[in-house]
Amino acid sequence: MAAISVLNVYDNGALPGTDLIGAKGQSFVIDIDGERTLFDTGMRGRYLMHNLGILKIDPESIDRVVISHGHYDHAGGLPDFLEARERPVEVIVHPLFHRKRARGFRGLPYKMIGPPKLLDGQREMMALNEVSDWTPLSDHMLLVTAPPRKHKDAIGDRLLVKDEEGWRRDDMEDELSLVLSSDQGLVVITGCCHRGLLNLLDSIKERLDIPVAAVIGGLHMSSFTDAEIDNVVRRLRKDQGQPQLYLNHCTGEDAMTRMREAFGLDGVKDFYVGTRFDLEDAGETKLI
């Protein structure tokens, strides 16, 4: 029987009373099916390596890396992580991950926020695997691509991407999420969830039809109005069976507070560096 564990190793917040560093970004270590996945790498490599050291995660023990999207606060730690390794490791990204990204105003870029450049030695430590469709990674773990946008998304017009035609609004087509399966339901793991939580959960429901027990990650809802947050609350209750929320990173204070008022302290938990989500037994519910 497989146990599931998701350990936060990089986030905007860290557990108090520890030497762990909290800084903008996100990274989780996921143990399932006897394999260890690093989901995102945070923004600064030395903070990631510091936190991994304190949490006793040997970089060599990671079997694969998945990067949720091409923003620097999720991909920025990759060069230092690869540098720390002796053996190459699989790195899974969407084919559109590599494009230049910026934060901008009226379509004009003013701050680069794209993925980091890798040096030759670092690139040699990476077995790049570009994935553009839903892909099982093990018996209980599925990689999920950017969902269609039916509900409000969490993108806004300040995120830009550069393609052949120049800078344009970034639709975040490269966004990847993970779904873990268990007898208690699905565990959905998000990066920034730029394409919108309701859109992601709807696309999972359509294809898997298994209830979602928990959502872990950042939801990027700071641009949501109160009414839009309340709509997410309503839909989570009505359509999704009110999953447990373990939130962090870019979720946004208003969204966190409002969802906590609706679901209670038990329904919405902080998920900071040093926090671990554990399920003793994933059971027999497999995704493939």
Binding site for Fe ion (CB under 5 A): 71, 73, 192, 250
Least distance CB 17 / Fe ion (angstroms): 26
Of 275, 233, 281, give the one whose Cα is nearest residue 14: 275
CB 222 within 8 A of CB 255: yes
Q: CA-to-CA distance for 28 and 125, rounded, in angstroms? A: 20
Least distance CB 45 / Fe ion (angstroms): 16
Least distance CB 174 / Fe ion (angstroms): 10
Q: Is 176 or 213 the residue whose CB approaches Fe ion more closely?
A: 176
Least distance CB 139 / Fe ion (angstroms): 29
Least distance CB 71 / Fe ion (angstroms): 4
Q: Is 221 or 282 the residue whose CB approaches Fe ion more closely?
A: 221
Least distance CB 26 / Fe ion (angstroms): 6
Longest dimension (CA), the chain: 52
CB 12 within 8 A of CB 275: no
Q: Is 155 or 279 the residue whose CB approaches Fe ion more closely?
A: 155
Least distance CB 192 / Fe ion (angstroms): 3
Least distance CB 81 / Fe ion (angstroms): 17
Question: Apex CA 264: angle with CA 197 and CA 5, to 5°?
Answer: 60
Beta-strand relationship, 126-130 and 108-112:
unpaired
Q: Is 35 or 173 the residue whose CB approaches Fe ion more closely?
A: 173
Q: Is 182 or 248 the residue whose CB approaches Fe ion more closely?
A: 248
Instruction: Give the Cβ contact number of residue 125 at 10 Å.
Output: 20
Q: Is 163 or 281 the residue whose CB approaches Fe ion more closely?
A: 163
Q: Is 161 or 250 the residue whose CB approaches Fe ion more closely?
A: 250
Return phi, psi of residue 80, to 5°.
Answer: -65, -35
Q: Is 220 or 258 the residue whose CB approaches Fe ion more closely?
A: 220
